[in-house]
Structure 1
Amino acid sequence: MFERFTKDAREAVVAAQAQARDLGHGRIGTEHVLLALLDADDGTARTLRAHGLTVASLRARVAAVGGRDGDLDPEALRAIGIDLDAVRRAAEDSFGEGALDSPPAERARRKGHLPFAKEAKKALELSLRHAIRLKHNTIGTGHILLGVLHDDDFRAVRLAWETGADVGELRTGITRLLTSKAA
C-alpha cells in the first residue's frame, strides 16, 4: 500500500512518528497523524487550518490526553468513576515523579521505530479506500486525512470536535479539494 503514497503522504507518516516520539508516546495514533498533516504546508493543512485547527491547540490537547498510559482513555475511565490524573498524582506522591511512566527499556525502544496503534493502521487502510472511491491512483495527504476522520471513534475525530471543528464539513471540504485536483 505504501508504494501508492505520494512523497507528501510518506512525509506525513514519518512526521506522525516524530510527533508521537516528541510527545513521549509509545505508539503512533490517529491524533499524531492529524498533527503531522496539520503541521505541513499543503492544501490539506490549509483546509484543516481553515476549519479552526491549529498546531499549538491540537498539540496541547494531544499532550493532555497523553499516550503514556497505553490504550487507557482518561475520559472513558472517568465515566466509570476513575480519575486517571488523581491515580497518577497519588502514585507520584507515594513513589516519586514519573512512577507510572514507562520503564527505561520502553523509553529506549521509543528511540527506534514506533508501532502504529490499531486505529491509526485502520485509518491508513481507509485512506486507500478513499483514494479508490475517488478513482485516484495515488494516496495523498488528503486521502490520509479522510482516513483519519473516517470513524467518529478515532481519537483524532474526538480531538477535532473538541477544538470546535465541524468534522462533517471538514470531510466535505477535503473531498472537494481532492476532486478539484483530479479534474
Structure 2
Amino acid sequence: MFERFTDRAREAVRAARDEARAAGRRQIDTEHLLLGVLADADSLAVRVLREAGVRADDLRAGVARHTADGGAGLAEADVAALREIGIDLSAVLARIEESFGPDALRAAAPGPRRRWGRRQRPGGVSPRAKKVLELALREALGLRHRHIGTEHILLGLLREGGGTAALVLTEAGLDLADLRRRVENALRMAA
C-alpha cells in the first residue's frame, strides 16, 4: 500500500510517527495522522480545512487537549456530564496525583522487552489508524486515483469517524459529511 503514497503522504505518516513518539506513545493513532497531515501547510487537505474555516493551530490544540493527562480523551461535554452527576474530574485527578505523585496517570513508556531469539520492534500503528490508512486506499481507488495523498488520508479519517481526530474535527465546528464534500470538490477542481 505504501508504494502508492505520494511523497507528501509519506511525509505525513513520518510526521505522525514523530508526533506519536513526542507524545510518548508507542503507536500512531488517528490524532497523530491528523497532526501529520497538518504538518504540510501547503497540502490540499490543509487548504480544504483552512477554507472550511478551521485553523491548523486550533486542531493541534484540540488534539493536545484530548491527549493531555495520559490521553483520557474526555471532551468538555463529558466533563460537564460527570460534573452534573456529582463527579468533579479535576478533583479526582488532583487526589490521584496527591496520592501517587505528579503524572501518575501518564502511561509510563515500557522498557524494551526481550524474548529469546526474537527482537521486538517498538511502535507501530494502532488498529484504528491502520483502518484509516486502509480507508485512505479505498478512497483513492474509489476516486480512480493511482496514488494516495494527504487528502485521501483526511478522507480516511473522516470515513472512520470514531477516533480522536474525528472528535477534534467535530469539536472545531466541522460537519464531517460537509468536510468530505469539500475535499471531493477540491479534488475535482485540482484534476
TM normalised by structure 1 equals 0.82
**How many matched pairs?**
177
Alignment of 1:1-150 (within 5 A): 1-40=1-40, 41-66=42-67, 69=70, 73-75=73-75, 85-105=90-110, 114-150=123-159
Q: How many angstroms apart in 1 are the aligned matches of 2:68 and 2:131?
A: 18
| Counterpart residue type for residue 32 of structure 2 | H
Cα deviation, residue 131, structure 1: 0.6
Q: How many angstroms apart in 2 are the aligned matches of 1:115 and 1:100?
A: 22
Structure of larger gyration radius: 2
Change (3 A) 1:48 1:32: same
Change (3 A) 1:85 1:16: farther
Aligned counterpart, 2:178: 169
**Cα displacement string for residues 8-51 of structure 1 (whole angstroms, at most 9, x for unaligned residues):** 11000011112222333343221221122123122221111111
Cα deviation, residue 100, structure 1: 2.0
**Cα displacement string for residues 124-174 of structure 1 (whole angstroms, at most 9, x for unaligned residues):** 000000011001111111111100111332221111110112322211111
CA contact (8 A) 1:20 1:26 kept: yes
Quote the RMSD (CA, aligned, Å): 2.7
- Percent sequence identity is 42
Question: What 5-or-longer segments of structure 2 have no aligned partner?
Answer: 113-120
CA contact (8 A) 1:38 1:49 kept: no
Aligned counterpart, 2:169: 160
Cα deviation, residue 83, structure 1: 6.2
Question: What 5-or-longer segments of structure 1 have no aligned partner?
Answer: none
CA contact (8 A) 2:26 2:122 kept: no
CA contact (8 A) 1:38 1:48 kept: no
Change (3 A) 1:164 1:136: same
CA contact (8 A) 2:25 2:109 kept: no
Change (3 A) 1:140 1:113: farther
TM normalised by structure 2 equals 0.79
